[in-house]
A and B are shown apart, each in its own frame.
Chain A
Amino acid sequence: MSYLGGAHNNGASPVSQYHPEKDLTSCLDRYGNEIRRALSVIDSHLKKTGQQYLVGDKCTYADLMFMPWHWLLLAKPHIMGEGFEQEWREKYPEAWAWNERVQAREAVAKARDARTEAVMAAHK
Chain B
Amino acid sequence: MTMWGLGLHLVSAPRQPSIAIESMRSTPETPVQLYIEARWYSQSSLAPLPATSFLYLRNPSFLFPPTAYISTIVSNEIDQTSKAHQHVQHHSVGLGRRRQRDRFQAPQAIFTRRCKHHSTSPSKSPSTLTHHLLLHQGPNPWKVAIVLNELNLPYETEVKQFPELKTPAFEELNPNGRVPALEDPNTGFTLWESGAIIEYLLETYDAKNSLSYAGGKEKWQSKCWMHFQMSGQGPYFGQRAWFILVRQNVLVISWRRP
* A69 close to B244 (CB less than 8 A): no
Complex interface bits, A49-87 against B, C-beta within 8 A gives 1, otherwise 0: 000001110111111111111011100010110000000
**Is A104 located at the chain interface by the 8 A CB criterion?**
no
In the bound complex, residues from chain B placing their C-beta under 8 Å from that of A67 are: 143, 146
Q: Which of B33-41, B48-56, B217-225 lies on the face that meets chain A?
A: B217-225
Task: For the complex formed, measure the closest distance between the CB of A65 and the CB atoms of chain B, giving whole angstroms.
Answer: 5
* Partner of B240 from A16, A18, A79, A108 at Cβ < 8 Å: A79
* B242 close to A10 (CB less than 8 A): yes
Given contacts A6-B93, A7-B63, contact A77 B138 (CB under 8 A): no
In the bound complex, residues from chain A placing their C-beta under 8 Å from that of B238 are: 8-10, 69
Kindly report which residue of chain B lies nearest to residue A62, judged by CB atoms.
B225
* B242 close to A66 (CB less than 8 A): no
* B226 close to A106 (CB less than 8 A): no
Interface residues on B, range: 35 or more
* A35 close to B247 (CB less than 8 A): no
Report how far A89 CA is from B232 CA in the complex, Å.
21
Complex interface bits, A10-45 against B, C-beta within 8 A gives 1, otherwise 0: 110101101100101001100110110110010000
**B contact patch SS:** helix
**Is A91 located at the chain interface by the 8 A CB criterion?**
no
* B243 close to A64 (CB less than 8 A): no
* Partner of A11 from B137, B218, B226, B240 at Cβ < 8 Å: B137
In the bound complex, residues from chain B placing their C-beta under 8 Å from that of A68 are: 139-140, 142-143, 146
* A10 close to B137 (CB less than 8 A): yes
Task: For the complex formed, measure the closest distance between the CB of B181 and the CB atoms of chain A, giving whole angstroms.
Answer: 14
The interface on chain A, measured as residues whose beta carbon lies within 8 A of the other chain's beta carbons, has a size of: 59
Question: Which residues of B in the span 211-258 have a Cβ within 8 Å of any Cβ on A?
Answer: 211-213, 218, 221-223, 225-226, 228-248, 251-252
Q: Considering residues B228, B244, B247, which has the most beta carbons from chain A within 10 angstroms of its beta carbon? A: B244
* B2 close to A114 (CB less than 8 A): yes
Complex interface bits, B8-36 against A, C-beta within 8 A gives 1, otherwise 0: 00000000000000000000000000000
Question: Which residues of A in the span 68-124 have a Cβ within 8 Å of any Cβ on B?
Answer: 68-69, 71-73, 77, 79-80, 105-108, 110-112, 114-115, 118-119, 122
**Is B136 located at the chain interface by the 8 A CB criterion?**
yes
Report how far A59 CA is from B211 CA in the complex, Å.
6
Kindly report which residue of chain A lies nearest to residue B237, judged by CB atoms.
A69
- Chain B residues with CB under 8 Å of chain A are 2, 4, 61-65, 70, 91-93, 134-140, 142-143, 145-147, 149-150, 157, 159, 162, 165, 178, 194-195, 198, 202, 211-213, 218, 221-223, 225-226, 228-248, 251-252
- Chain A residues with CB under 8 Å of chain B are 1-4, 6-11, 13, 15-16, 18-19, 22, 24, 27-28, 31-32, 34-35, 37-38, 41, 54-56, 58-69, 71-73, 77, 79-80, 105-108, 110-112, 114-115, 118-119, 122
